[in-house]
Amino acid sequence: MSARAPSAQVLTAALCIAAASFALWPLANFDGPWPEGIRDYLEARGQDESGARNLVSAIYLGYRGYDTLGETIVLLVAVSGAIGMIGAAGSKLTPGYADAAQGQSPVAGTARRAHRRTELIDVVTGKLGPVVLVFGLYVMLFGHVSPGGGFQGGVVVASGIVFLGMGSKGAGLSPLVGAVTLARIEAAGFLALLLAAGLGIVSGAGFFAPPLRGASPVGYIVALNAVIGLKVGAGIGFLCIAMLGEAER
């Protein structure tokens, strides 16, 4: 930390903000038209070419499958890295997410607040978990005709898994909340995604193309959405459960 007076720091910050505002003002004031060529093309042909009424699904599962594959790999690497870093720290977080062994506050100069769990949280999250799981499956499987899709549904499924993990109080865990189960679902989801991407090669349609030519490509989008949803749900659920401290290593 510098030894300057706070007023000098405030002045410097104000000057920086003023300079940035001056430089960025043309951007904020920009009034050009939105380029609409691709929008018009997708509106005219997107549903016929990909089979999905939801054009966002059509893009990330139909036109840009490679991108989605890379995205799931990034997610896989992030989950592995975070689990590895937490796991290698040599201890698991205390159930109830308070680090009870450490008496001092993590930040110097602030008072440590007591972390409390109430019966209310246990009861509500335990009962709500299955409902959220079903809603996640709905969002996942109807992503081609309504707002939603694999990633969105997967995140809802993950929050359902977190609810189940919070509601079970560490005892009598549902097997779905077990770290090993979630890791296996994640791995199986990635394998299924690779298989689904490669099926098109075998049938001659091409990588990440619907393998059955002639049939409507909707089924392929639904299958990809389901696989991605399971993978994302298991991955993010695994991450959250591990950070809650329920993961068994």
Partner 1 sequence: MTARLIIGALFMVGLWALVAKRNLVKKVFGLTILNSAAVLLFIAEAGASGGGAPIMGGGQRIVDPIPQALMLTAIVIGVCVTALALGMAYRLYKATGSMDIEEIRKRLGNG
Binding site residues, partner 1, CB under 8 A: 1, 17, 24, 27-29, 34, 36, 38-39, 42-43, 46-47, 53-56, 58-60, 64, 67, 71, 74-75, 77-79, 81-86, 88-91, 102, 104, 106-108, 145-147, 149, 151, 232, 236, 239, 243
| Nearer of residues 107 and 114 to partner 1, judged by Cβ | 107
Tokens of 213: 């030519």
HEC readout, 194-205 = HHHHHHHHHHCC
Q: Which is nearer to partner 1, 40 or 119 (CB)?
A: 40
Please give the angle made by the CA atoms of 179, 180 and 181, to the nearest 5 degrees. Answer: 95
Which CB, 151 or 220, lies closer to partner 1?
Answer: 151
Q: What is the nearest approach in angstroms of partner 1 to the Cβ of residue 39?
A: 4
Cβ contacts of 241 within 8 Å, gap of 6 or more: 161, 162, 165, 177, 179, 182, 247
| Cβ neighbours around 171 below 10 Å, total | 6
Measured from the CB of residue 9, what is the shortest distance to partner 1 in angstroms? Answer: 9
Nearer to partner 1, 107 or 120 (CB): 107
Check if the beta carbon of residue 176 is closer than 8 Å to that of residue 161.
yes
Least separation in angstroms between CB 132 and partner 1: 18
166 to 91, 116, 117: CA distances (angstroms): 20, 13, 10
State the DSSP H helix or E strand holding residue 124, giving kind and residue range, or none if neither: helix 119-141
Least distance from partner 1 to the Cβ atom of residue 16, Å: 10
Instruction: Dig out the tokens for 168 from the structure.
Output: 């079970």
Q: Which is nearer to partner 1, 87 or 219 (CB)?
A: 87
Q: What's the closest the beta carbon of residue 225 comes to partner 1, in angstroms?
A: 12
